[in-house]
Each structure stands twice: as C-alpha cells, then as structure tokens.
C-alpha cells in the first residue's frame, strides 16, 4: 500500500520572526488532534548555525524541543518521530543562499498518528506570519503527478506510464550512474510550480493564499475571487481561502482534471492535458496507481 | 557518512533516510540547487529492491525540490577479496 496521507505546507516570504511560535502552533495543533508524539529526533542541520552542524540526531522529549530552539537561536527545525511506515517529519526550512523565504513542510507515513486535515493550523500560522500560501494535498497523487524520472520505481509505485509521456534523456551526473529518463510534467493537471527557489504552488482542492502570493500569479486576487467555479471562498485580513473540490484531488482526468485545468488557466494562464499527448482532459480514469482508481 | 552496521531493517532504513535528509538540507549553491546523490554499497547477491523502494518513496515525499535532483545508486561491492 503506497503512502496516501494528507500532507501540508505553509510558505513564508521571510523566515518567521519567532520560530518558537511556529513550533508552539504546530505542537498545539497536534496536541488538540491527539497526535502529539512524546519524543522527537531532532536533526542538527536544518535551522542550525554551521558551527553546530552534526549528522547525529538528538532524542528529546517533545516539551524540550522548544528550549533547544531558544537556546540555539535556531532559524528552523527538522524533527521526526516514529519509524518506517509510522513516522512523521515536520520541518521549517529556509532557502539559505537562494533567499530568505521559508516553508513549513510535513511528511506523514501511511500508518502514522497524524491529522488528516491541516486547515486550522495553516490559518493560525498565516494569521501570525506574513505568508505566500498554505496548501494540503494527497501524498500519492502529488508524488505521481510530479514524478521526475521514468524508471523501475515509477512503474512499481505508479503503474504503467502513459505511452506518450513526454521525456528526455538526462546524462549521468558522474559517469557512474546510468543516464536517466526525465519526465516533463509541465502539462500534468496535478503538477506543482516553483514560484521561487524552494517555494511551490500546487493546484489543490483547498488553498490559503497570502498577500505575497499574488506577485507570482497571472491574475489578481479580485479576479480569482470572482471565478465562478469555487465551492467556497473566504477573504480575511491575512489570506484568501479557496475551495474548489470537496476532498483532496486524486485524479488528473474527469471532472477533477477539468477543475485543475481551470486553476492553471486562472492563476497562471497555463493549460493541462491528460493523458499526455491528448491535448485535453479525458473523461475516464486513465493510468496511475491502483489506490487512486475510483472503486 | 553513517559507516555503521545495523542489523534491524527499520533502523537501517531510518538511518539511510536521515542520510537523505542530511544531503537535502545542506546549504545549496547560489546558482541553483546542486545534484544530490546517495551511493550505497551492498553485499553482492543481496536484494535491494525494498530498500530502493523505501528510500525513493521517502525522497518523493520531500517534494519536487529534492526528488527532481536526487540520484540513488545501490552498487554491489565485495569487502572480502
């Protein structure tokens, strides 16, 4: 069974002023959802000044991570709990030499104890920090639609590749590994788009778009709010909320595919197709992992 | 990196995932993200499909910024001549 949990990200134009407040918000949300691990393994690279970098992890009680953030004046964190198939990973990382932008990111294993909806946390974080946006998605669908290489792993995880999938050969980086087949995902309905280094837009069923998002979009906030396909929109002092589908997307075809196409056309004046090479969105589900096929 | 003998499979996977994290979260170059490569030597004849699957699943969960520049090489290597 492939991992298909709901994950989230919140992206910020600058490293949040108070890292400990981001930590507190995350821990508070996990506690409320009864998903708070008792201990974390804390990585000593992410958020750490270079002189403290170490490949060793520190095992800490959850309540002690907060003190570590304060004592070491961290500007981010990367923590994990649990092992294979039951693990969670939360990280607040900045783009380092590529800019001051930062993002909070989650990875949730299939059987991990973690929430399956992150909206309240996303809103709390965006209310407290200037933001580019917040997104949540089904892990398997995102990974499939953005799979970078056509290889054994692709076939094992996502099934047979569409015959016309656009690809190019990428030379080995070191002459030891074989050349690889890179997939061009730029017309996939579920593709992501890098706005600035490390910060991505994802066409998701729910989006929380902050004031810093609109400089990257091809439409204005007012034009987005005026679109007629939203199930729900909300305008607040710190973000605009858009919901266009009842659940996280799982398919690039049918009505879901057409809805993602509307998002791409609205926000970036870009098109989509599924399957690759068709020039449109097919009605019936085609390709992809069996877990994402309608039952 | 991580030159350790680990008998427990989950612990070994976990340590290798942490090696991926150490690669992914190190400072990038100003001209763009460098390629990331994890090179694992395995005992000749031993299976590695599960390890490859587990690690590449992990990498794909890290997002496109990491997965699109990541290479995993698992190579048989006999320590005993």
| The pLDDT of residue B1 | 46
Q: Who wins on pLDDT, A1 or A62?
A: A62
**Among the listed residues A150, A143, A180, the one whose alpha carbon sits nearest the alpha carbon of residue A166:** A150
pLDDT in tens, A180-235: 999 999 999 999 999 999 999 999 999 999 999 999 999 999 999 999 999 999 99
Using the beta-carbon criterion (under 8 Å), do A180 and B71 form an inter-chain contact?
yes
Q: Which residues pair with A128 in a beta bridge?
A: none
Grade residue A262 by pLDDT with cuts at 50, 70 and 90. Answer: very high
Is residue B18, in this structure, part of any structural domain at all? no
Nearest residue of B to residue A158, measured between CA atoms: B57
Averaged pLDDT for residues A143-162: 96
Is residue B52, in this structure, part of any structural domain at all? yes
For residue B68, which residues of chain A lie inside 8 Å, CB to CB?
148
Is residue B59, in this structure, part of any structural domain at all? yes
The whole-number mean pLDDT for each consecutive block of 10 residues of chain B, a chain of 81 residues, reads: 60 85 70 76 86 91 91 85 65
Cα(B41)–Cα(A88) distance, rounded to whole angstroms?
27
Counted across chains A and B, CB pairs separated by less than 8 A come out at 95
For residue A50, which residues of chain B lie inside 8 Å, CB to CB?
27
Using the beta-carbon criterion (under 8 Å), do A139 and B61 form an inter-chain contact?
yes
Number of domains within chain B: 1
Is residue B8, in this structure, part of any structural domain at all? no
For residue B21, which residues of chain A lie inside 8 Å, CB to CB?
43, 45-46, 78
E strand segments, chain B: 36-42, 70-76
Residue A100 has pLDDT above 70, yes or no: yes
Considering chain A, what percentage of its residues have pLDDT values greater than 90? 93
| The pLDDT of residue A73 | 96
**Chain centre to alpha carbon of residue A142:** 8
Averaged pLDDT for residues A84-103: 91
pLDDT in tens, A14-36: 999 999 999 999 999 999 999 99
* Cβ atoms of A243 and A230 closer than 8 Å: yes
Q: Which of these ranges, A87-101, A210-224, A265-279, B37-51, has the smallest mean pLDDT?
A: B37-51
Domain residue limits at B63: 34-81
């Amino acid at each position: 069974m492939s991992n298909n949990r709901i994950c989230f990200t919140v992206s910020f134009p600058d490293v949040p002023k108070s890292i400990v407040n981001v930590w507190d918000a995350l821990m508070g949300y996990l506690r409320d959802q009864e998903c708070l691990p008792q201990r974390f393994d804390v990585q000593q690279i992410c958020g750490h000044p270079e002189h403290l970098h170490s490949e060793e992890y520190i095992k800490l009680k959850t309540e002690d991570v907060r003190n570590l953030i304060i004592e070491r004046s961290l500007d981010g964190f990367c923590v994990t709990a649990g092992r294979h198939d039951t693990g969670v990973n939360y990280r607040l990382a900045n783009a380092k030499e590529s800019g001051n932008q930062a993002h909070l990111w989650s990875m949730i294993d299939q059987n991990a104890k973690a929430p399956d909806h992150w909206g309240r946390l996303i809103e709390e974080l965006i209310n407290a920090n200037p933001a580019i946006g917040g997104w949540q998605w089904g892990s398997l669908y995102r990974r499939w639609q953005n799979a970078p290489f056509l290889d054994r792993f692709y076939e094992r995880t996502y099934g047979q590749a569409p015959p016309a999938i656009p690809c190019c050969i990428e030379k080995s980086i070191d002459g030891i590994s074989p050349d690889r087949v890179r997939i061009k995902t730029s017309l996939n309905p579920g593709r992501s788009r890098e706005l600035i280094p490390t910060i991505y837009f994802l066409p998701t069923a729910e989006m929380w778009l902050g004031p810093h998002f609109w400089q990257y979009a091809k439409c204005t906030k007012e034009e987005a709010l005026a679109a007629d396909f939203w199930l729900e929109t909300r305008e607040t002092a710190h973000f605009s909320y858009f919901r266009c589908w009842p659940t996280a997307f799982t398919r690039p075809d049918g009505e879901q595919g057409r809805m993602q196409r509307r998002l791409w056309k609205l926000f970036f004046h870009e098109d989509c197709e599924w399957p690759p090479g068709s020039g449109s969105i097919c009605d019936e589900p085609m390709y992809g992992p069996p877990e994402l096929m309608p039952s | 990196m991580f030159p350790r003998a680990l008998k427990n499979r989950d612990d070994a996977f976990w340590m290798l995932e942490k090696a991926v994290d150490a690669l992914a979260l190190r400072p990038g170059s100003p001209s763009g993200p460098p390629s990331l490569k994890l090179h694992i030597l395995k005992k000749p004849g031993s299976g590695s499909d599960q390890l490859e699957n587990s690690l590449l699943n992990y990498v794909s969960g890290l997002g496109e910024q990491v997965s699109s520049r990541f290479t995993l090489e698992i190579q048989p290597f006999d320590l005993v001549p």
